[in-house]
Amino acid sequence: MMLTICDQGLLYPRIALLLSLQRILASFSKMSTIFFLLIIENINYFLISYLFANRKYIFGK
C-alpha cells in the first residue's frame, strides 16, 4: 500500500510537469529548454535515489 502511494506520488507530478513543459517549450529557446529538462531530470533522480536509499525507513523492509 505504501509503495503504491510513493510510486503514484513520483509518477503523477512528473506527468503534470511534462504536460506543463509542453506549453513552456513554445516560449523558450532550444538551449534553455534543454537546460530546464536537465534540471527536472536531476530533481527526479535525486528523489528516486533518496527514496531508494531510505527505503528501509519508508517501507519498513
Tens digits of residue pLDDT in 26-35: 666 666 767 7
* Domain boundaries defined on the chain: 2-59
Q: CB of 47 within 8 A of CB of 10?
A: yes
Mean pLDDT to the nearest integer, 3-27:
62
Q: CB of 17 within 8 A of CB of 40?
A: yes
The owner of cell 509542453 is 22
> Is 5 a residue whose pLDDT tops 50?
no
Looking at residue 1, its pLDDT comes to 42
> Is 14 a residue whose pLDDT tops 50?
yes
Q: Kindly compute the dihedral angle of the four CA atoms of residues 33, 37, 42, 45, in this order, to the nearest 10 degrees.
A: 180
Q: For residues 24 and 42, which has the higher predicted lDDT (pLDDT)?
A: 42
Looking at residue 50, its pLDDT comes to 78
